[in-house]
Amino acid sequence: MKLSAKSILKQAAVAESGQAKAIITKQPQKEKSATADEKLWLEDGTLNPQTNLISSEKKVELKSIRQQVLDQAHQDAEKLKKQGYQAGNAAGQKAGYQAGYQKGLAAGQKLAEQLTVQAKQNVKYSLTAAHDYVVDKQAELMKFAVEMAEVLVKRKLDQDPAAISALLEPMLLKMQQPEQLLTIHAHPRYHQQLERQMKLEKQKLPGFRYLILDDADKSAYQVSVESDEGLTSFDLAQELERFLQQTEK
């Protein structure tokens, strides 16, 4: 009898009370493999159906590409094999006697076997090429996504200078200390917005001191904060490049 994955109810007679008691037994849950969905390709070269590294649409696309490569390679192998047999038959018939025909047929069969081996190697090469193509496309798509993120952030800063506050806030939390002077270096376009933000910070921390220095050499997508503890900065291009390098590891 198979046990249910849920609780199993057992009835037992109790001599003293004559009443039935429910005994609940829990079965331990099987642990799921931690790496089942972390592989893109299986050891036999097929796509892992459980992978979560790519979307369902990409899975369908990759399966289609792989099947096309296999179909074409198999067609080429059959074509070459047929040509080899035809060549052997032609050589044997031209000799005009049975010995020559058998010799030609054997030569054709040998050629067909060689071509079949070559076709199998071509299939293996095609699968490797398809895998490399997928990897290259993944890197290309990631780079495109990072470039789009850069465009969107720049557009946000260009349209709304107040967005610089979102970039500055983490640095202030890291470096802001009572009775300590913070010096902010930023593009002149952000001066008024930074002044408003620093006044709000001063209300939260009365002993807070700050100095805003306009730096025309900085781009509109750079800002740095300096204190007695050190210097921290934000550069949009460098941050996105660092993110892209991490995804490629």
CATH classification of 161-247, choosing from 3.40.720, 1.10.3470, 3.30.2320, 2.30.30?
3.30.2320
Whether the predicted pLDDT of 242 surpasses 70: no
Q: What is the tens place of the pLDDT at every residue in 186-239?
A: 888 888 888 888 888 888 877 778 888 898 888 777 788 888 777 777 777 676
Domain extents in the chain: 56-158, 161-247
Q: What is the tens place of the pLDDT at every residue in 120-161?
A: 676 666 667 656 655 565 666 555 555 555 655 666 666 666
pTM for the predicted model, two decimal places: 0.36
Q: What is the tens place of the pLDDT at every residue in 13-30?
A: 444 444 444 455 555 555
Give me the DSSP letters along the chain. Answer: -PPPSS-EEEEEE-TTT--EEEEEE-PPPPPPPTTTTS-SB-TTS-B-TT--SS-HHHHHHHHHHHHHHHHHHHHHHHHHHHHHHHHHHHHHHHH-SHHHHHHHHHHHHHHHHHHHHHHHHHHHHHHHHHHHHHHHHHHHHHHHHHHHHHHHHHHHHHH-GGGHHHHHHHHHHHH--TT-EEEEEE-GGGHHHHHHHHHHHHHHSTT-EEEEEE-TTS-TTEEEEEETTEEEEEEHHHHHHHHHHHHT-
